[in-house]
Chain A
Amino acid sequence: MMDTVTGHMAVGDPILPGNHEHAARPLAIEARGLVKRFDGTLAVDGIDISVPEGAIYGILGPNGAGKTTTLRMLLGIIDPDEGVRRVFGHDRPQEIARIIGYLPEERGLYPAMKAIEAIAFMGALRGLPLPEGRRRGRELLERHDLGHAAERQIRQLSKGMAQTVQLLGTLIHQPRLVVLDEPFSGLDAINQGKLERMIRELADDGVTVIFSTHVIHHAERLCEGVAIIAGGKVPYAGSVETARDRIPAQVRLETRAREGAWLDALPSQARREGDFFHFPLPESGIEPLLRQLIEGNAGILSLSIERAGLHDAFVHIAGEAAARALAEDSAADLAGERR
C-alpha cells in the first residue's frame, strides 16, 4: 500500500490505502515516475498518482508546486521527460479526448462568441456535432439558471457566469473523466458552493473528477483521495482519511482544579493554554486517563477528542514551509475574491 510519506507506490498496489472497497476498482488515471524539466529546471520530480474510476481526487499544493504541469502531462498536452501515464489504459491520453473534459487554470473563451456557441464549440472540439452541442448547451444553461444568457456574448457576462459557461463547455460532451485545474479560483463563496455540488453530481453519475487546488477545505470536503504535491514531488498520495490518521487525535481538557497529583497522569506532551490542556490521544485510549483524572479529583469541566484535519496532515507531510505557502495562496485568493 502506498501509505508512506515517501509517496512512491509499487505498481499494483491498492489505490486508496485504507479503503479496501476501492482496491478492486479499475483505474481512470495511473502515473508512475513522471518527470518534467523546463530549460534544465526540474518542475516535476518522479510523481506517482493513481485515481480509480468514479473517484473525486484532489491534487493539493501551493502555487508553483507542479500541479498544472502534472495535469498537463496526465492529459497529454505535454509529454513527460521520464515516466509513464495511462488514462483509461491509454498511453496517449489525447487519443481518447472525446471522453475527457478539461478546464485549464487560465480561463478563457472567445469574448465575441455567444455563450451557447462557446459551449457548442467546446463540444465540437471533442467530437460533438454542433447542433447537438447547442441542444445540450441550452439544457445545461437552463439547469444552471443561465438560460437567459444563452444568446449573450461572453464579454457581456459576469466573471462567474463566464466561468460557469466554460465549465459547462467542459462537460457538454459528457466526458467520463473531468480534469479541473484550480476550479475554485476566482469564484465567490456562492459559486464555489455550486461548483462543489456539480462535482458531487458528476461523481454520483460515475464520472471521475480530478482537480487541483491550493485550498485544503475543498479537497477535504470533496475528495476521496488526494495527492499532496510540494516542490515537484508527491510526498503523499492516498485517501484523505489515511492522511488524517497520520496524526494522532488531539485531546482538549478543561479542569476545575489547577494543581494535584492527577497532573502526573497527563502525557508528557501535554501543554497548558489558559484553562485548557492539549495533548495527543494516548495510544492506550482515553479511558485509563479518565479514570486517573476522576480518582485524582481533577474536576473535569470539559473534554473533547478532535481528529486531525487535512490541514494538520498537510503540515505533517509536506512541512511547515509548504503549508505556509499554501496559506498565503489561499489568503491571496480570498483577497482577490473580495476585490
Chain B
Amino acid sequence: MIQQTHARSRLSRLQAAWVVARRDFVAVLFSRAFFFFLLGPLFPVIVGGLAGGIGGQVQRESVSHEIGLAMSGADNQALLAAQDRLRPQLGRNLPMLAPVEAAQSEPDFDSRTFLEQKRGNYAAILGGTLDAPELVGTRGQVVRWQGPVALLVGNAADAQPEALPQIRAQLVSTSAATVRTDRIRTAQAAQMMLFLLTMLLAGMVLSNLVEEKANKIIEILAAAIPMDAVFLGKLFAMLAVSIVGIAVWGLAGYGLWSLSGGAIADATGFNPSNLPAPAVGWPIFALLSVLYFAMAYLLLGALFLTIGAMAATVREVQTLSMPVTMMQLMVFFLAAYVITQPGSTLEMVAIVFPLSSPFAMLARAAMQETLWVHAAALAWQALMVLLIVKGGSTLFRKRVMKSGGAGRDKPRRRLFGAARA
C-alpha cells in the first residue's frame, strides 16, 4: 500500500529548515549584496553619533543628583531650607539634599566608610558643620558639586552671605552611585550596539522575503515543506549570515583599534577599554550579549516574515514594515529609559514585551548580578519566536496563497521576472 510505503515520506521540520537555511546562507554569503551589507555599519555609526545626544541626555539624568546630609539636625534643616529658597532660581543646578538616616542613628557614623560600603545612592555626603563643611565623595562628584554645595552652605548660614565658605573635600575611591552610574554606561553601550545590529540585520530578512516573492519561489517551497520550516530556515540562515558579518566587523574593528586605538579614543572621546565591568562580569555578559542579540534578531525577523505573510505584493511588504521599524525604535527608547528605573513596573513591561525584552535584559545584565532571570527571559523570548513563526506561517497559508495569479483582470504573467537575487 502506498500509505504504508510513504507514511514518513516528507522531510521533518528541522530537515526542511536546514535545506532552506543552507541555500539562503550560501546564496547571501556569496552575493554582492553581502559586500554592501558589510558596509552597512557605516550608516549606523553616523546614526549612532546623532543618537549619542539622546544617550548623553539619558546618562546625565541617570547620574545621581542626591547629596546626603550628615550634619547636626539643625544644620540639616537650615540646608534644606536654603535649598528650598534657591531651587526656584537654580533648578537642577542644585543637588537634591537628603539627610542620611544612618548619620543620625549610628553614633560612630563615618561618611567615607558609608560610601565605600556602597550604602545608599548618594553622589556625595556633606558632613561637618555649617562653619566647617566637609564634602565626602569620589573626585568626579566632589568636583561636580563643590560649588553648588558651597552656595547652599553659605545660604544656610546666612540668607545673604558676603562670601561662600570653603568646602573641605575628602575623596573616596568609589561609591554605590558611582558604580551604578558606570554600569549604566556599559548598559547603554550594549543596548545601542544591540539595537544597531538588530535593525541593520533584521532588514536583511525582509529583503530576503521580498526577493523570494519577486522570484516566485515561495509556492515551490510551500508545496514541498511546511511553511514554518521555511520561516525558521530563513531566520536561522540570516542569523548565521549576521554572525559572519559581526565576526568580520569585529575583526576589522579589533584590527583598527590595535593599529590606532589611542588616536581613535582621543578623536571620539570614547574608549571601550574604560567601560566599567558589568554586574555579571565580562565573560557572562559577552555570552548573554550573543544570546540576546540572537533573540532580538529572531523576534524582529519573525515579525518581518509575518508581515511578508500578510502582504500580497512587494510594495505592501515595504509599506507594512515601516510601522514595525518605528515600533522597534519606540521599544529601544523604552528599554533605554528603564535602565534608570530598575525594579519598576515599566521595567517589567519592557522585560515581558517580547521586542523590548532582549534590550531590557541586556541592560539588567550590566546592572544586576542575578543570573536566573536571564534563563527565564531567554526561554520566554524563544517561545515568542516560535509563536510568531507559527502565526506568520498560518497567516501565509490563509492570505498569500489565495489567488491563482491568472485571474481575468490580472496582467499577463511575466515569466522569470526582472527580479534578481
Please report A residues at the B interface, Cβ cutoff 8 Å.
26, 38-39, 43, 62-64, 66-69, 72, 75, 77-79, 88-90, 94-100, 102, 104-113, 121-122, 124-127, 154-155, 159, 162-163, 176, 181-182, 185-186, 325, 332, 336
Q: Select one of A63, A89, A162 contacting B1, CB under 8 A.
A: A89
Give Cα distance in the complex from A13 to B15, angstroms: 40
Give Cα distance in the complex from A108 to B418, angstroms: 11
Contacts of A90 in B (CB 8 A): 3, 6
Q: Select one of A125, A176, A186 contacting B225, CB under 8 A.
A: A125
Contacts of A98 in B (CB 8 A): 6, 9-11
* Minimal beta-carbon separation of A216 from chain B (angstroms): 17
- Considering the complex, give the chain A residue whose CB is closest to the CB of B407: A64
Give Cα distance in the complex from A206 to B415, angstroms: 30
Q: Select one of B6, B226, B417 contacting A88, CB under 8 A.
A: B6
Contact between A94 and B3 (Cβ–Cβ < 8 Å)?
no
Total CB contacts across the A-B interface at under 8 A? 148
Contact between A97 and B216 (Cβ–Cβ < 8 Å)?
no
* Minimal beta-carbon separation of A97 from chain B (angstroms): 5
> Residues 379-421 of chain B: 1 if any A CB is under 8 Å from the residue's CB, otherwise 0?
0000000000000000001100111111111001101110111
Give Cα distance in the complex from A43 to B405, angstroms: 13
Give Cα distance in the complex from A204 to B409, angstroms: 38
Q: Select one of B224, B412, B419 contacting A125, CB under 8 A.
A: B224
* Minimal beta-carbon separation of B173 from chain A (angstroms): 60
Contacts of A75 in B (CB 8 A): 223
Q: Select one of A110, A176, A186 contacting B413, CB under 8 A.
A: A186
- Considering the complex, give the chain A residue whose CB is closest to the CB of B10: A97
Contact between B416 and A69 (Cβ–Cβ < 8 Å)?
no
Task: Enumerate 7 A-B pairs (CB-CB under 8 Å) in ascending A order.
Answer: A78-B401, A79-B397, A96-B10, A100-B223, A108-B220, A112-B421, A127-B15
Give Cα distance in the complex from A43 to B407, angstroms: 11
Contact between B416 and A111 (Cβ–Cβ < 8 Å)?
yes
Contact between A182 and B215 (Cβ–Cβ < 8 Å)?
no
Contacts of A38 in B (CB 8 A): 402-403
* Minimal beta-carbon separation of B390 from chain A (angstroms): 15
Contact between A125 and B221 (Cβ–Cβ < 8 Å)?
yes
Contacts of A96 in B (CB 8 A): 2, 6, 9-10
Contact between A105 and B413 (Cβ–Cβ < 8 Å)?
yes
Contact between A106 and B408 (Cβ–Cβ < 8 Å)?
no
CB-CB under 8 A for A124 and B19, given A63-B408, A108-B416, A109-B217 = yes
Q: Select one of A67, A89, A122, A126 contacting B2, CB under 8 A.
A: A89
- Considering the complex, give the chain B residue whose CB is closest to the CB of A63: B406
Give Cα distance in the complex from A96 to B16, angstroms: 14
Contact between A94 and B406 (Cβ–Cβ < 8 Å)?
no
Q: Select one of B23, B27, B406, B417 contacting A64, CB under 8 A.
A: B406
Contacts of A62 in B (CB 8 A): 408
By Cβ-Cβ distance, the 10 closest A-B pairs, closest first, are A108-B216, A68-B404, A112-B421, A125-B224, A98-B9, A106-B216, A88-B2, A104-B219, A38-B402, A64-B407
Q: Select one of A88, A105, A108 contacting B404, CB under 8 A.
A: A105
Contact between B401 and A106 (Cβ–Cβ < 8 Å)?
no
* Most B Cβ at <10 Å: residue of A63, A66, A108, A162: A108
Contact between A110 and B215 (Cβ–Cβ < 8 Å)?
yes
Contact between B406 and A99 (Cβ–Cβ < 8 Å)?
no
B344 in contact (CB, < 8 A): no
